[in-house]
Structure 1
Amino acid sequence: MRRLLHALALGSLMLAATPVFARDAGPVTHSMTGRGNVTIEALSQGSGPTIVILPSLGRSGEDYDAVSRLLAEDGFRVLRPQPRGIGRSAGPMEGLTMHDLAADVASVIEHEKAGPAVVVGHAFGNFVARQIAADRPDLVKGVVVAAASAGKVPPGSTEKPIGPEMRKAIDGPSDPSLPEEKRLKYLRIAFFAPGNDPRVWLGGWNEAVHHMESHARNHTPVDDYFAAGSAPILDLQAEHDPVAPRRFAGVLKSLLGDRVTIVVIPNASHALVPEQPAAVAREIAKFTRNLDAK
């Protein structure tokens, strides 16, 4: 009897120590969506409620490999439309507005029959995400703005949302003519918290896409996208983000009210995703599940 009890106790300990593995994320597949003279490539992974992830200025959806895998393992389908000029995405690159870039992503959501989806916009991508929610509310059930400049400053402030020196640091890493050490310096200033390795973002920049997206931002009134229509918003902030600094941390919520939820990710700067992928995935999943539960 004593041996039986010992065996049962040992078995219980082994079961308690056995990790519960997440589901298989599955492969990343690629699809193409045509819209007039524009073709957009999208990366897709997982199954379940759809989360669309839009990249930072001049960068690719491949930056989100780790976050996409974690979300797919957690029971979500993740779509990553590539901006024009990256991967196999192609179309006119001159004279665009945020409405054009939003329409590119909207065409993917429609083609994939994935709406309404949660749309995540990282850094520059947050403007596109909010523009989609404003232009196509039927396709968006919630918006996550990650390491995002709100595009406005607190009432009474005379500052610009992003000042000229910070703009220089944001633009610098995508300039291939600059020495590596200069680009690393800019990455440390604008994108990576102290102690986090900026070298992971030395590559992956597309200068032509950077200019195309910058033009679209500069030639679209901020009020076109600021409010993200009427969608619920998760404002996923980075603790050490100089591009969206703490003194501006309450702008979205102060102007849009209770439909904005703020979560701060520690030990991260404007790059955020390569710095804290697990925390980013966890908060996106939590926000999406809360929306689905309502």
Structure 2
Amino acid sequence: MSTLQLEGFSLHYEEGGQGIPVLLLHGLGSCGVDWELVAPRLSRGWRVIAPDARGHGKSGRPPGAYGVPLFARDIAALCDALKLGAVHVVGLSMGGMMGFQLAVDRPDLVRSLVIVNSGPELVARTLRRKFDFATRLLLLRLLGPKALANVLAPRLFPKPEQEGLRRRAIATFGANDPDAYLRATRGLLGWSVMPRLKDITCPVLVLHSERDYTPRSAKQAYVDLLPSARLQVLEDSGHAAPLDQPGPLTDAVEAFLREVDRAVPGSRHAR
């Protein structure tokens, strides 16, 4: 367990392994434990770092507005403080948004991107999406994270045999500070780096779960705009793929990272 002091608050992160660094970025209302079933395997071949974004997990909850650019700036500061150089970035949901932002703001820091059930914008372009956003904010304001957790958990893990994962999700989301969670949620809505996708030249792997909230076609549409990207499907998986399909997800990530590292002369995995 480690912390870094940033702008008057502490940024918590966990790390393990050695070699080329890999950042594991979590989803909204969660923390680095999103990756607890993935990190041990990745740490056999890479230096794995899993931070908690500001307002999440064991990191501080400073006042003020939150948002994807701010979250990404915190991660960049962590990379600079640890002198990591170019890193592989693996992001789930909100973490994928942070990865996109980091890639356009600090391309020098991003060796590759793995985007898991996420995209380069969160803009309500239909009445249905606007209704969904408004409903989530209303639930948060009126009932708080614990009530929202009871709504989200069955959607994330709908199978009878996933009761343990549902209980885990309810505990994780329910433990959020209500004010910080609300500010983080508001900070995601309306965010976009879509016009800057052409500037992301690093290799990108987009992982799509069969039961994700966003259809495969939407992900393929932005993959086609990226200079060096491909899409891969995770079967029998929902939005929280690192938890419901950690094995296949880790297989996909490992294969991609090794492919990228082999293409870079002098890297640990180059052959």
Is the pair's TM-score, using the shorter chain for normalization, greater than 0.5?
A: yes
Q: Which deviates more, 165-174 or 34-43?
A: 165-174
The answer on whether the counterparts of 1:239 and 1:266 sit within 8 Å (CA) in structure 2 is yes
CA contact (8 A) 1:58 1:209 kept: no
Equivalent position to 1:54, from 1, 5, 25 = 25
* Corresponding residue SS for 2:39: helix
Deviation, 1:152, is: 6.9
Bigger mean CA deviation after superposition, 164-173 or 201-210: 164-173
Give the gaps of 5 or more residues in structure 1. 1-29
Aligned equivalents of 2:199 and 2:169: distance in 1? 29
Q: Does 1:164 align with 2:122?
A: no
- Asked whether the equivalents of residues 149 and 161 of structure 1 are also in contact (C-alpha less than 8 Å), the reply is no
- How far apart, CA to CA, are the structure 1 residues paired with 2:58 and 2:168? 23
Deviation of the 1:246 alpha carbon: 2.8
Over 3 Å counting, the alpha-carbon distance change for 1:37 and 1:192 in structure 2 is same
1:42 to partner: Cα distance:
1.2
* Whole-Å separation in 2 of the counterparts to 1:225 and 1:213: 23
Asked whether the 8 Å contact 2:55–2:181 carries over to 1, the reply is no
**Distance across 1 between alignment mates of 2:115 and 2:181:** 19
> Contact 1:132/1:228 (CA < 8 Å) preserved in 2?
no
2:229 aligns with 260
Report the Cα distance in structure 2 between the residues aligned to 1:171 and 1:286, rounded to whole angstroms. 41
Tell me the TM-score normalized by structure 2.
0.81
Query: Structure 1-normalised TM-score?
Result: 0.76
What percentage of aligned pairs have identical amino acids?
Answer: 24
Q: Whole-Å Cα distance in 2 between the matches of residues 72 and 203 of structure 1?
A: 26
| Superposition CA RMSD, Å | 3.0
> Judging changes above 3 Å, is the alpha-carbon distance between structure 1 residues 245 and 89 closer, same or farther for their aligned structure 2 residues?
same
Match of 2:11 among 8, 29, 40: 40
After superposition, the Cα gap between the structure-2 partners of 1:271 and 1:261, relative to the gap in structure 1 and judged at 3 Å, is: same
- Which position in structure 1 is the counterpart of 2:268? none
Pair 1:152–1:90, CA change in 2 (3 A): closer
- Corresponding residue for 1:192? 157
Whether contact under 8 Å (2:55, 2:62) holds in the other structure is no
Residue 252 of structure 1 aligns with an amino acid whose one-letter code is: Y
Between Structure 1 and Structure 2, the one with more helix by share is 2
2:172 maps to 1:204:
yes
Distance in 1 between residues matched to 2:5 and 2:13, nearest whole Å: 11
For 2:238, the aligned partner's letter is S
2: CA distance, partners of 1:129 / 1:252: 15
SS in 2 for 1:164: helix
For 1:261, the aligned partner's letter is R
Alignment partners' CA distance in 1, 2:241 and 2:58: 26
- Tell me how far apart the structure 1 counterparts of residues 16 and 247 of structure 2 sit (CA, whole Å): 17
Q: The residue matched to 1:269 in structure 2 has which SS? A: coil
The one-letter amino acid paired with 1:54 is L
Segments of structure 2 that go 5 or more residues without pairing to the other structure are 264-271
The 5 A counterparts of 1:1-294 are: 30-73=1-44, 75-90=45-60, 92-151=62-121, 159=126, 162=129, 164-165=131-132, 168=135, 175-176=144-145, 178=147, 183-189=149-155, 191-192=156-157, 194=159, 197=162, 198-205=166-173, 206=176, 207-218=178-189, 220-223=191-194, 229-242=200-213, 244-257=214-227, 259-294=228-263
